[in-house]
Structure 1
Amino acid sequence: MKNRQAGPQKPLDRSWHLARTPEEMDVADLEYALIRCFEAFGHWQAECLASVVEFQASGPENALLHMIRANDRPKSVRDLAHMANRQDVPNIQYSLRKLIKGGLVAKSGSGRAGVTYEATALGRDVCDRYADVRADLLVPSIARQPDLAKRLPDAAHALDLMTGIYEQAVREAATHRHRPGRPDAEMPAKTPQQNPRRRN
């Protein structure tokens, strides 16, 4: 039995089904960093809100409250969906009902004239106290990291660019989606060697 010549082993193998090339590895690393950052951001939002009011809310619900408060002007569901780049209107409406029940948001208008939502006096106070906790805990932590604050504008711009790229990819995928049950036209046909029933 021949001895195998074992080459130098890499300590980590980063290749997998979403990362078959160096470019795919970089995109996969970015995507999983986004997932982890999104979850951490949600945890922070929920905990920061809980520190200023006894109201259980998810990260997206907290974000919705601050979007409603932004510029102190009423906003429609369509406005909120556009601001958050969301399409799940039923979930937005559920969150709005929860915020209304908690006394943080008020609903006004009618179906014909248009329904809008705005922060109540309690909602504005909660948003202001949330901003105070954010200024005390989060912003100084960022400032303590060397040059991190200077890189935030470029990071925000990069995320905006990636948002546009993902949205374009969504449109492409929706345009060229295969119908269920339709055979893939690009599947290679079987050769005689691949068909066991074919006789020479």
Structure 2
Amino acid sequence: MTDVKTGKTRKLTPKAPDVAEMERAFIVSSSHLATPGNEDLSEFEFALTVVNHAFQRWVVRGMAAAGLPALSPLDALILHSINHRNREKSLSDLMFTLNLSERHYLNYAMKKLDDLGLVTRRRHGKEVFVSATEKGRGCCEEYARLRRFCLLELIPPDRMTAGVPIVDVAKALRVLTGFYEQASRSAASL
């Protein structure tokens, strides 16, 4: 840059941010949602968005490596939930467990899993119950094996992330789920 007074060229050095400014810097994707005093929630929502996409990408790639490249993240999570504890599940229980609000998402996934020979269905009265087939259980076991090798090896032995135990992060997410559920009900009643 040329100094107007002296006519000499000098190199600009960026000003280091002071500590107070750095403490207020939040990582957000939508500044219009980072309202004063709530920037931390906007940062959380951005982090949640990014981790959700990373998690879904992992699920799809993990299931593809386990031999099921056609599954969406939801299809895979439904299969794992059906396989859980090797007990049949009702469709209502699956919707409740996975916090699904739209039955058609579950129906679409069930059709795909059924067509691939991964689940069986049986009707008892008005309720439909599903269970994993031997092929479905085998794919879940292979995914679990790959998960141990590809993912669990990356987790620190002390089970900490950013100085917080992973179990505490999970608890906090469950609490925040309640807030978002209540906000959804409030928005629906407007």
Specify the TM-score bucket, using the shorter chain as the normaliser: 0.7 to 0.9
Q: Secondary structure at the match of 1:53?
A: coil
Deviation at 1:20, TM superposition (A): 2.3
In 2 relative to 1, CA 17–61 (structure 1 residues): closer, same or farther, beyond 3 Å? Answer: same
Shift, 1:150, TM fit: 6.3
CA distance in 1, matches of 2:33, 2:69: 39
Aligned residue in 2 for 1:190: none
**Which residue in 2 is equivalent to 1:51?**
65
Answer yes or no: is 1:29 the counterpart of 2:33. no
Residue 69 of structure 1: how far off its partner (Å) = 0.5
Q: Is the 8 A contact 1:48 1:130 kept in 2?
A: yes
Q: Aligned pair in 2 of structure 1 residues 78, 171: CA closer, same or farther (>3 Å)? A: same
Name the counterpart of 1:127: 140
* Residue 99 (structure 1) aligns with: 113
Moved more, 140-149 or 56-65: 140-149
Alpha-carbon distance in 2 for matches of 1:27, 1:93? 34
Larger radius of gyration: 1
Q: Secondary structure at the match of 1:143?
A: coil
* Sequence identity percentage: 31
Q: For structure 1, which segment, 11-20 or 127-136, has the greater mean C-alpha deviation from structure 2 after superposition?
A: 11-20
- Equivalent residues, number: 167
Q: Which residues in structure 2 correspond to 1:189-200 (within 5 Å)?
A: none
Q: Report the equivalent of 2:12.
A: none
- Give the SS at the match of 2:83: helix
Q: Tell whether 2:16 aligns with 1:16.
A: no
Conservation of the 8 A alpha-carbon contact between 1:55 and 1:102 = no
Cα separation, 2, equivalents of 1:71 and 1:144: 26
Q: How far is 1:169 from its partner?
A: 1.5
Corresponding residue of 1:169: 183
TM-score (norm 1): 0.76
Pairwise mapping of residues 135-174 of structure 1 onto structure 2 (< 5 A)? Answer: 135-143=148-156, 147-148=160-161, 151-174=165-188
Q: Could you list the runs of 5+ residues in structure 2 that have no partner in the other structure?
A: 1-14
1:139 maps to amino acid:
L
Q: CA deviation at 1:62?
A: 0.5
SS at match of 1:17: helix
Give me the whole-angstrom Cα distance separating, in 1, the residues matched to 2:104 and 2:128. Answer: 15
Task: Decide which of 85, 91, 100 is 2:99's aligned counterpart.
Answer: 85
- Between the aligned partners of 1:165 and 1:147, the Cα distance in structure 2 is 25
The range that moved more, 136-145 or 150-159, is 136-145
TM-score by length of 2: 0.79
C-alpha displacement at 1:73, in angstroms? 1.0
**What amino acid sits opposite 2:107 in the alignment?**
Q
